[in-house]
A = this chain, B = another copy of it.
């Protein structure tokens, strides 16, 4: 186990009807709030009205900035920063999924900074402070509600870059599983792939002696798998929705990688996919991850056999660990298919004529991954395996 520092101060307010506490939670972080959201689904579902009435009940003044799109854009972030400065905003309330939260974090970091907020995403500067951010979560997937990360896309050149810093970690996150009843099945499935990927990126590590975090990862994966079928059978199964929602936060709140080094190559390969093609992040991960697994499996067959056994319930064949390992990867692939996700590029309508370009772009800053280091050739091979 490696040395580590772990601290996560996000206050989680979880359960039925909890969005009615938005005002009382928000009041602790600011009296003048920017209400930030997406393209209006929160108005259709009535969530907007409940949040606004809770803010008003708590005497909070707010202005609104809507229009966040998946792969949130730098231009809207800049608009938000200007709004916050003009109106003396003290805190930002993100109502939505990972894109809205990431956009809110970017605005929060930018308000106090004299330069271009994009500097943070290019690694040219580090924010020393940020406006406090609060969250009402509507999509369990990205884990941004209690993470230190934000991913923003600059329209010019379609550059997708990440900022990771504790100053942007949300102060509170309201998680009501009922709010996820109305998610379309495909979006639910993409969220499931995203949260599983967050765990698997951490699970496949070269760090030895990480039994507790291994088992916590396996526990969370099994729970996600077991409850997935239930939400597709009955989208209003509160308990299954609740398991998925809490699992999605735990998957990415930092606990599961204490003392270990994760891989993260699949995430970066996927960013190239969704950078070029209009594909949801979770769907891209469902395509990339099984191919990556088959490609790197020989690096640590025992770990893949453990994954097959403890996550998928496969019996370990001590005379053929590779066979056990492959069963685990097959199970993952079949699972993704079963919830309606593509597991090949062709299934997502993605041709194979720009694989070289994606492999090139993915490795511009050097090889990817920690479990196995992958250069351009290796990434190309993985994408070809995923054809």
A-side residues, CB < 8 A to B, are 1-18, 208-209, 211-212, 215-216, 218-220, 222-223, 226-227, 239, 242-243, 246-247, 250, 255, 258-259
27 A-B contacts (beta carbon < 8 Å): A2-B15, A3-B17, A3-B18, A4-B12, A7-B9, A7-B10, A8-B8, A12-B258, A209-B239, A209-B242, A211-B223, A211-B226, A211-B243, A212-B219, A212-B220, A212-B223, A212-B243, A212-B246, A212-B250, A215-B219, A215-B220, A216-B220, A218-B219, A242-B259, A246-B258, A246-B259, A255-B255
Residues of B within 8 A of A10 (CB): 7
**Chain B's nearest CB lies how many Å from the CB of A243?**
5
Give complex CA distance A9, B212 in Å. Answer: 21
Residues of B within 8 A of A1 (CB): 15, 239, 242-243, 246
Q: Note all chain B residues with C-beta closer than 8 A to A222.
A: 215
> How many copies of this chain does the complex contain?
2
Which residues of chain B are near A211, meaning CB under 8 Å?
A: 223, 226-227, 243
Cβ contact within 8 Å between A5 and B14: yes
Given the complex of chains A and B, what is the CA–CA distance between A9 and B2 in angstroms? 21
Task: Write the chain B residue with the least CB distance to A242.
Answer: B1
**A258 touching B14, Cβ below 8 Å:** yes
A4, A17, A218, A255: residue with the most chain B Cβ atoms closer than 10 Å = A4
Cα(A125)–Cα(B127), bound, Å: 42
B residues less than 8 Å from A212 (CB atoms): 219-220, 223, 243, 246-247, 250
Residue of B nearest to A10 (CB): B7
Residues of B within 8 A of A5 (CB): 11-14
Assembly CA distance A250 to B6 (angstroms): 12
Query: Contact check: which of B9, B246, B247 meets A9 at CB < 8 Å?
Result: B9
**What's the least CB distance linking A21 to chain B, in Å?**
9
| CB pair A223 B215 closer than 8 Å | yes
